[in-house]
Amino acid sequence: MIYTAIDTFYLTDEQLANSPSRKDGIDEATETTLRIYGCDLVQESGILLRLPQAVMATGQILFHRFYCKKSFAGFDVKKVAASCVWLASKLEENPRKARQVIIVFHRMECRKENFPMEHLNLCSKKYVDLKMELRVTERHILKETGFICHVEPPHKFIPTYLAILETPPELRQEAWNLANDRYIIADITFIFLLVRLCASLTLFSCSLRTTLCVRFKSEVVACGVVYAAARRFQVPLPENPPWWKAFDGEKSEIDEVCRVLAHLYSLPKTQYIPVCKDSRMSDDESKDMTKEEHVLKSKSDCRSEVIGETCKDKDRNRDRNRKRDRDRDMYRTKSRDSDRRGYKHF
């Protein structure tokens, strides 16, 4: 198995138990809830932005890595989720504009919190502040990860593992298409055949909501979700010799992945828990935000001036066209009257 030299962001159970959020007094249940809530935001926003699954997987892994270095009390989960989506879209070469990300997260927040669905004015102070926070938070993510944003999502290995385990190639391809919402199948009996193979990809999406991506390598997580899907639908896998040995996996690690996934399914639906303390911002961070705010405000003022000048030009052109049409109509009326008088005289 080939591993990249920069794929080294993995933590032990002791390090996760002593995370920055725990040091700030946030208990394990609250931290788990906020991690799942943030990953749900990344997944849902990726769907609304029409991003591929690779972007959403990269965004969720960056989200977990960031909160292994920083606390939920210091950075709001909604802002970090938005910045992770924006950064992941650029890393996976499917970029989206900051305006698109901000509008999507604004509408999601209004819907989830039962706020009135109002239009976000691009020239308003609220939009300028959101754009500033998006950029500043992205810089914090890059800083805490050391600008090492290399990500190997487990879903890249699942089709290979299914092929090595000799599943039918037609069903593998159709399962991949169905998992990525690219193809709609009308035959209900064929869908039941695909469900078993899609289960591994479904479990993969669920695994991104846990800390498995910062505890185990992607190959181990892929083995775990394949094994969990096989156990759920009673599909036999070769055990003599053990199939996971071919993918450099260990039975204990695969069992731990299955245990975490089973625990995830037992949790209720997550809700936002406000634990962020904005007063924890350092002097350097406040200076960065102030500088960014001045830049964005100046850009907003320039944009407003340009829009105002454009509107004035349009009004002048409209008045000029109306005057020209009025003069032309008047000239035609005079010409018609003179022709009539000449005809009567003749």
Domains of the chain: 13-151+275-282+290-294 (1.10.472.10), 154-265 (1.10.472.10)
Position 46 scores a pLDDT of: 93
Half-sphere exposure in the Cβ direction for 312 (13 Å, CA) = 6
Position 66 scores a pLDDT of: 94
- pLDDT greater than 50 at residue 285: yes
Cα dist from 109 to 48, 102, 208, 215, 259, whole Å? 13, 11, 22, 31, 32
Cα dist from 217 to 3, 45, 75, 135, 241, whole Å? 9, 26, 27, 30, 22
Among 161-170, 220-229, 253-262, top mean pLDDT goes to 253-262
- pLDDT greater than 70 at residue 216: yes
- pLDDT greater than 60 at residue 168: no
Half-sphere exposure in the Cβ direction for 55 (13 Å, CA) = 28
For residue 188, the Cα-to-chain-centroid distance in whole angstroms is: 32
Q: Kindly report each contact of residues 18-24 with a partner whose C-beta sits within 8 Å and lies 24 or more positions away, as own/partner.
A: 19/67, 19/68, 19/71, 20/67, 20/68, 20/69, 20/70, 20/71, 20/74, 21/67, 21/71, 21/72, 21/73, 23/71, 24/71, 24/72, 24/73, 24/74
For residue 160, the Cα-to-chain-centroid distance in whole angstroms is: 25
Average pLDDT over residues 21-45: 91
Average pLDDT over residues 141-168: 79
Rounded CA Rg of the chain = 29
Position 152 scores a pLDDT of: 80
Cis before residue 241, ω within 30 degrees of 0?
yes
Banded pLDDT at 184 (limits 50, 70, 90)? very low
Nearest alpha carbon to residue 157 among 91, 114, 112, 221:
221
Position 308 scores a pLDDT of: 58
Banded pLDDT at 210 (limits 50, 70, 90)? confident
Position 304 scores a pLDDT of: 55
Average pLDDT over residues 68-84: 93
Arithmetic mean of pLDDT over the chain: 77
| 70 contact partners, CB below 8 Å, separation of at least 6 | 20, 140, 144
| 95 contact partners, CB below 8 Å, separation of at least 6 | 89
Question: How wide is the angle at C-alpha 45 spanned by C-alphas 126 and 99, nearest 5°?
Answer: 35
Cα 302 from Cα 333, distance rounded (Å): 47
Position 8 scores a pLDDT of: 66
Q: What is the pTM of this model?
A: 0.71
Proportion of the chain above pLDDT 70, given as a percent:
72
307-341 tens-digit pLDDT: 556 666 777 788 888 888 888 888 777 777 666 66
Helix (H) or strand (E) holding 6: none
115-150 tens-digit pLDDT: 888 888 888 899 999 999 999 999 999 999 888 888
Terminal Cα-to-Cα distance of the chain (whole angstroms): 104
Cα 25 from Cα 192, distance rounded (Å): 47
189-209 tens-digit pLDDT: 333 433 444 444 455 556 678
Average pLDDT over residues 251-268: 85
Position 131 scores a pLDDT of: 93
Locate 119 and state its tokens. Answer: 């239009």
- pLDDT greater than 90 at residue 99: yes
On the 0-12 / 13-18 / 19+ scale of CB atoms within 10 A, 334 is: exposed
| 41 contact partners, CB below 8 Å, separation of at least 6 | 77, 78, 81, 82, 105, 108
Half-sphere exposure in the Cβ direction for 247 (13 Å, CA) = 29
- pLDDT greater than 60 at residue 280: no
Residue 32: CB atoms within 10 A of its CB come to 17
